[in-house]
């Protein structure tokens, strides 16, 4: 009996007081949180995104000190030059020289790597700003990428507010901003601008302002290759709206406006391959160029089977893509993912199908996960626990370090070649 009393006495025993340092840090954190809570939503989003970019700056700066000899510059570059590598070099070529009128070919007649693999909005925007302002394009491409990231964060928040309260939407933006591959949002790539346009298009679609979405869709399709999954998503949405129109009445003319947007999206998806064809005289200029990076012509869906066989062997390997599809289907139909609404779930499903059909799985696949950003809201809504949400952010930052050091920091493989980010 006395043992039980001792246990209860121990359970109610007061904890030792916090140290002055811990108390001061706790008070500062509470004061900062209260100050932020009184600020406008847009300022909260801007400050949150700025904090994420400072973290990524520190990761990049530290990784640059470890960079050895590489194809672009000498060892141990500064932050600015460290970000000018990989595909940043291709965007720089486009800014300076545009796109080739004649496809470069090897001695065997095969198309070789060239600028037609990269969409035009980002490099031509930088080029135009450089001509107008006289500022170096190397500086402007980083400024544009950074500014586009802030714009993307603001639009993503507006999109998330259609499905969740302020706090959960803000945590969703935090998950997006600190995501392991979010480092790419501040380098001279088209990703941040592409996400901004994509989020803008999805926001208008969720609001059912279909005609107002057309400019955003056109810009998104000419910034990153998102046109095909967007068209598939809108076609599926049209079917859903048509089938359920009697149970859920639509606004007058809504189906017609959605059909116009779907047609405009399909045309936008074909625009860049058509432009490449018109400029080079080769109908397959774009697809031939894309195939160069894959090493062979693309057979839809087969790269995932081949990769599965390589990773898991001849028995389990061909089954692995089907297991991946089943897992994705279960996740997208789970109760907490339904929070993001039918439009965003259709987008994620269509984009997943697009990657499965046309992507050659490799290390760059991680970077292709950013357009799944609506799932950041579902992840934030999974639990309101600050311990859970904080742990996710810490995990994301640690994985961001892994991504930068493993993939952005260039290192030649033992057999030659490298792992691209």
Query: Is residue 154 one of the residues assigned to a domain?
Result: yes
Q: Is residue 349 part of a domain?
A: no
Q: Token match 């311990």: residue?
A: 387
Give me the number of domains the chain comprises: 1
Question: In angstroms, how far is CA 17 from the centroid of its own chain?
Answer: 45
Could you tell me the pLDDT band of residue 104, with boundaries at 50, 70 and 90?
very high
| 171-187 pLDDT tens trace | 999 999 999 999 999 99
255, exposed or middle or buried, with CB in 10 Å at 0-12, 13-18, 19+?
Answer: middle
Q: Are 356 and 301 in contact (CB under 8 A)?
A: yes
Residue 58 belongs to domain spanning: 37-295+387-408
Residue 224 DSSP SS3: coil
Q: Encode pLDDT of 241-263 as tens digits.
A: 999 988 888 999 999 999 999 99
Mark 53-78 as b/e (b = at least 16 C-beta within 10 Å). bebbeebbeebbeebeebeeeeeebe
pTM over cut 0.85: yes
Taking residue 297's Cβ as centre, other Cβ atoms within 10 Å add up to 10
Number of neighbours of residue 108 by Cβ within 10 angstroms? 5
Pick from 286, 332, 325, 284: nearest CA to 308:
325
Q: Is the pLDDT of residue 15 over 60?
A: no
**Residue 176 domain flag:** yes
Of 72, 9, 25, 51, residue with least CA distance to 410: 72
Rounded CA separation 68/84 (Å): 15
Confirm whether 104 is domain-assigned: yes
Choose between 362 and 15: higher pLDDT. Answer: 362
Cα torsion for 376, 379, 384, 389, to the nearest 10°? -80
Predicted confidence (pLDDT) at residue 1 exceeds the cutoff of 50: no
Average pLDDT over residues 89-106: 96
Instruction: Centre a 10 Å sphere on the Cβ of residue 281 and count the other Cβ atoms it contains.
Output: 11
> Residue 260: inside a domain, yes or no?
yes
- CB-based contacts of 5: which residues, under 8 Å, 6+ apart? none
Phi-psi map region of 73: left, alpha, beta (phi>0 left; psi -120 to 50 alpha): beta
How many beta carbons lie within 10 A of that of residue 207, not counting itself? 14
Give pLDDT tens digits for 287-296: 999 989 876 6
Those residues with Cβ within 8 angstroms of residue 392's Cβ, 6 or more apart along the chain or in another chain: 175, 379
**pLDDT tops 80 at residue 105:** yes
Domain-located, residue 400: yes
Structure tokens at 245: 């129109």
Q: What is the mean pLDDT of the chain?
A: 92
Q: What is the pLDDT of residues 357-384, one digit of tens each?
A: 999 898 999 999 999 999 999 999 999 9
Residue at 175 is within a domain: yes
Please check whether residue 371 lies inside any domain of the structure.
Answer: no
Rounded Cα distance between 219 and 6, Å, is 70
Query: Rounded distance, CA 417 to CA 419, Å?
Result: 7
Nearest CA-CA partner of 292 in 110, 38, 95: 110
Average pLDDT over residues 59-68: 96
């Amino acid at each position: 009996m006395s043992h039980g009393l001792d246990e209860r006495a121990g359970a109610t025993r007061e904890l030792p007081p916090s140290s002055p340092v811990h108390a001061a840090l706790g008070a500062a954190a509470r004061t900062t949180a209260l100050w932020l809570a009184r600020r406008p939503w847009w300022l909260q989003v801007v400050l949150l995104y700025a904090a994420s970019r400072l973290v990524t700056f520190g990761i990049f700066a530290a990784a640059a000190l470890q960079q050895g000899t590489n194809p672009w510059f000498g060892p141990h570059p500064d932050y600015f030059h460290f970000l000018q590598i990989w595909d940043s070099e291709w965007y720089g070529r486009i800014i300076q020289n545009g796109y080739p009128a004649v496809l470069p070919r090897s001695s065997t007649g095969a198309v070789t790597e060239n600028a037609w693999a990269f969409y035009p909005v980002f490099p031509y925007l930088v080029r135009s700003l450089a001509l107008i302002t006289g500022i170096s394009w190397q500086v402007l491409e980083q400024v544009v990428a950074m500014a586009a990231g802030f714009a993307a964060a603001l639009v993503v928040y507006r999109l998330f507010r259609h499905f969740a309260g302020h706090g959960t939407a803000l945590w969703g933006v935090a998950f997006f901003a600190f995501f392991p591959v979010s480092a790419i949002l501040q380098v001279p790539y088209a990703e941040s601008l592409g996400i901004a346009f994509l989020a803008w298009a999805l926001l208008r679609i969720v609001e059912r302002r279909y005609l107002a979405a057309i400019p955003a869709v056109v810009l998104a399709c000419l910034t990153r290759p998102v046109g095909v999954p967007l068209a598939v998503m809108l076609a599926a949405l049209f079917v859903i709206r048509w089938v359920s129109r009697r149970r859920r009445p639509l606004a007058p003319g809504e189906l017609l406006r959605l059909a116009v947007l779907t047609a405009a999206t399909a045309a936008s998806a074909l625009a860049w391959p058509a432009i490449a064809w018109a400029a080079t005289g080769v109908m397959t200029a774009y697809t031939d160029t894309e195939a160069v990076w894959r090493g062979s012509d693309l057979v839809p869906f087969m790269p995932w089977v081949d990769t599965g066989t390589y990773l898991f062997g001849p028995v389990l390997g061909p089954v692995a893509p089907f297991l991946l599809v089943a897992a994705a289907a279960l996740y997208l139909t789970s109760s907490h993912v339904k929070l993001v609404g039918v439009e965003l779930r259709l987008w994620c499903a269509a984009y997943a199908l697009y990657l499965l059909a046309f992507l050659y799985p490799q290390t760059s696949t991680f970077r292709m996960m950013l357009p799944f950003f609506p799932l950041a809201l579902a992840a934030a809504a999974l639990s309101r626990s600050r311990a859970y949400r904080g742990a996710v952010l810490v995990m994301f930052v640690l994985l961001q370090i892994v991504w930068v050091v493993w993939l952005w920091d260039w290192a030649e493989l033992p057999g030659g070649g490298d792992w691209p980010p």
